[in-house]
Structure 1
Amino acid sequence: MSLGVVKSLVGFLLLLNFCMFVIVAAIAGWALNNALDHTYSTGSGKPFPVGFSPVYFPMGNEATGFMVIFSLIAAVVGAASCLSGLHHLRVWTAHSLASSTASSMTAWALTLLAMGLAYKEIHMGGRNAKLITLESFLIILCVTKLFYILLIHGGFFGGNYCSYQDTYVATTTTTAEPQKGSTTVTSSV
């Protein structure tokens, strides 16, 4: 594949992933806000009711709270990894590949964790349309983030990256002070 095609596909996947991570953050943020507005209020000195869970969500099932929290974390890390990927797309060197890959793989791992909790929530049932949308976006994000990681590594192994030696500029430096009667000693590094 030519460099232009690879960079175009990477750019498209970055934009797609960033938009999807923003949507996931918005839906998970709504669910967390809704849960915080409807949590138990016991007052001072009163004990918590039996069966109280600190991750209580009035919608969904027992897995909803964990899925929403991990979805929020995955969305924030994923959006940040897209910004790192944008820098990599701009400079496209082996050095920027390392930071882009590290942040992308971290975001992908967190998205996989949230997707696993989404599978558990799907299996348990009893969720509303917004949670079904959140689950769908998590599943799609796992696939598109994996394609992005494979694509930037495919470009690397295809030889489309310049190396450190390609960007290095040699300079001439003086290694010692010249003494009377001697010639100047220089070396190129």
Structure 2
Amino acid sequence: MAVGRNIAAPLLFLNLVMYFIVLGFASWCVNRYINAQTAHPSMGGNGATGFFLTFSMLAAVVGIVSKFAGGHHIRSWRTDTLAEAGSSSLIAWALTALAFGFACKHINIGSWRGWRLRILEAFIIILTFTQLLYVMLLHAGVISSRYGPGYRDADYGIRGPADEPGPKAGTAVAGTRV
């Protein structure tokens, strides 16, 4: 079994659980924010709160969906499933990194922030780095086949014109018309 697969599988599960937690906290905070209940003891916020919550929810939803593709890839662990898992996890990481930037701005602006917003900030910061590690583990097969399926498999995508499947010889009956 590949080294990358042994490390990527638990990290996939950890990130999936963390993305669900982020989705729960961000959804609760967005509900309070929409209802203009920012004075709630566990809410608070500042000018960056709306953007931070929006991108946190978006990153969480895309991250959850990418973990389903990643689970399929880890189960089959082939080169053709790597493209699906790798691209969706890279998009999830990019959105998480964007939410990370808003989390940093949210912390930098200051003012009073409730415990749910602070937990959401912490989870987004942690997820940014664990998702990056997960993306790197998925693509570790590029370095060596020991770490997983790579892009340099000998038989992947290399077919000549003579290798194309065509009609089988001897199946047609000469002189008949259909």
Question: TM-score, structure 1 length as denominator?
Answer: 0.75
1:94/1:156 contact within 8 Å kept: no
Q: Deviations over 1:73-123 (max 9, x none)?
A: 000000000111000001111111111111001100100111100000100
Query: Is contact 1:27-1:130 (8 Å) kept?
Result: yes
Residue 173 of structure 1 deviates from its aligned partner by 5.2
Which residue, 10, 15, 29 being the options, matches 1:12? Answer: 10
- Any residues of structure 2 matched to 1:67-146 within 5 Å, and which? 67-126=52-111, 127-146=113-132
1:158 paired with 2:144, answer yes
Identify the structure with bigger relative contact order (alpha carbons < 8 Å, sequence gap 6+).
2
Residue equivalent to 1:42: none
Q: Compare CA radii of gyration and give the structure with the larger one.
A: 1
Provide the aligned length of Structure 1 versus Structure 2: 159
Matched with 2:168 is: 174
Q: Is the 8 A contact 2:82 2:149 kept in 1?
A: no
Paired letter, 2:155: Q
The SS at the match of 1:174 is coil
Distance 1:164 1:72 in 2: 41
2:161 aligned residue? none
Alpha-carbon separation, structure 2, partners of 1:69 and 1:33:
11
**1:23 deviation in Å?**
0.5
Give CA-to-partner distance per residue, 1:99-150, whole Å, 9 cap, x none: 1111001100100111100000100112111111111100110100110111
1:46 maps to: none
- Select which of 20, 43, 61 maps to 2:46: 61
- How far apart are the structure 2 equivalents of 1:154 and 1:146? 12
Q: What TM-score results when the alignment is normalised by the length of structure 2?
A: 0.80
The one-character-per-residue Cα deviations of 1:152-173 (angstroms, maximum 9, x if unpaired) are: 111343124284837xxx9895
Moved over 6 A (4+): none
Please report how far the alpha carbon of residue 178 of structure 1 lies from its aligned counterpart in structure 2 after TM superposition: 6.2
- Unmatched segments (≥5 aa) in structure 2: 157-163
Maintained 8 Å contact 1:25/1:71: yes
- Structure 1, residues 17-74: CA drift from partner, whole Å, max 9, x if none? 00000000000001011122236xxxxxxxxxxxxxxxxx552100011100110000
